[in-house]
Amino acid sequence: MRVLVRGAGIIGLAVAEELLLRGHRVRVVDPAPCSGASGVAAGMLAPAAEATWAAPGVLDLGLRGLALWPGYAERLGVPLAAAGTVLVARDGRDLVEARRQAALLAEHGIEAVPLDPAALAQVEPRLTSRAAGGVLLPGDRSVDPRAVLAALLERVEVDGVDAGVDARVEHDVEVLATGCSLRAPYSHLVRPVRGEAVRLRSDDPPSCVVRGWVFGEPVYLVPRASGEVVVGATVEEHDEPAVPT
C-alpha cells in the first residue's frame, strides 16, 4: 500500500517503521519531527503503577504492550531499564493509596510487594526514613523516549512539510498521528492534556522509578543511565500554549 503518515512523534514514526518493514511505501510528513510530547515524556512503561479500578481494559492493553517492549528495544538498540517501580507513601493517608493499588493488582495476578519503612530503605536507600512505607512493582519498566525517537529517525525518512495540509501524493491509507491537534472531522476525538516535568542531573540518582503520593499529590522520579532524573508532573486539561509555567 501507499501510506501517508501525518506526524513524526513516537506513534507516527513507530507505525511508519513497522509498515516499511512489511514492504509498504510510506511517506511521513511533519515540519518539526519529535518536537511534541514524545520528546519530553518520562518514558515509564508502567501498566501496574498506572492501573485504575475504573479501566481494567487499559491495564490489559498496557501489559500486552509491555510484553512487546524487550524485543522492540533490542531491535532498535535502545536500553530498557528493568529495575521496576517503587510506590512510596509519604504519610499514613498516602499509604492507604499505595495499599489500594496493591489490592487492585492482586486481583489481576500482578506482583506487588508491600514494603514497610525498613524494607523500603533497602529497596531504595536514597529515600529518607520519614516515608511511611510503599509497594514494589518489579514488572514495570522505563525507556528514554528520546533514544527511541533517535533510533526511529535513523530508519524512517521524514518530509518536513506541514502535517496539517494536503500532501501532494497519492495514497491508499492515511495515518493521523498529530497528537491533540486532529483536523476536522476528527478533532472531536481527542482533547489536549498538558503536562510539565523537570529534568535534573544527579551523581546519585534513584536505582529505580519512584512514584507515589506526597500529601495526596502524585509525583514521580524516573532515572536514566546517564544520571538524568525526570521529575513530574502536572496534568492540566486545556489548550493554552505549551509553555512552562
Distance from chain centroid for Cα 111: 21
Reported as a single tens digit per residue, the pLDDT across 65-74 is 999 999 999 9
Confidence of residue 165 (pLDDT cuts 50, 70, 90): low
Please report the pLDDT score of residue 53 as a whole number.
Answer: 79
Q: Which three three-digit cell numbers place residue 11?
A: 506513534
Confidence of residue 134 (pLDDT cuts 50, 70, 90): very high
Among residues 134, 127, 133, 107, the alpha carbon closest in space to that of 52 is found at: 107
**Percentage above 90 pLDDT, the chain:** 64
> Which residue segments constitute the domains of the chain, with CATH numbers given?
1-43+144-190 (3.40.50.720), 62-143+193-245 (3.30.9.10)
Confidence of residue 238 (pLDDT cuts 50, 70, 90): confident
**CA dihedral sign, ordered 112, 54, 12, 9:** negative
Please report the pLDDT score of residue 110 as a whole number.
Answer: 93
Among residues 182, 176, 180, 164, the alpha carbon closest in space to that of 238 is found at: 180
Report in angstroms the alpha-carbon separations of 142 from 22, 33, 231, 239.
27, 22, 14, 28
Classify residue 39 by burial, with Cβ atoms within 10 Å: 0-12, 13-18, 19+.
middle
DSSP string, 207-222: SSEEEEEETTEEEEEE
CA torsion, points 87, 89, 94, 96, in degrees to nearest 10? 70
Specify whether the CB–CB gap between 206 and 221 falls below 8 A: yes
pLDDT at 80 over 60: yes
> What's the one-letter identity of residue 144?
D
Please report the pLDDT score of residue 166 as a whole number.
Answer: 60
> What's the one-letter identity of residue 8?
A
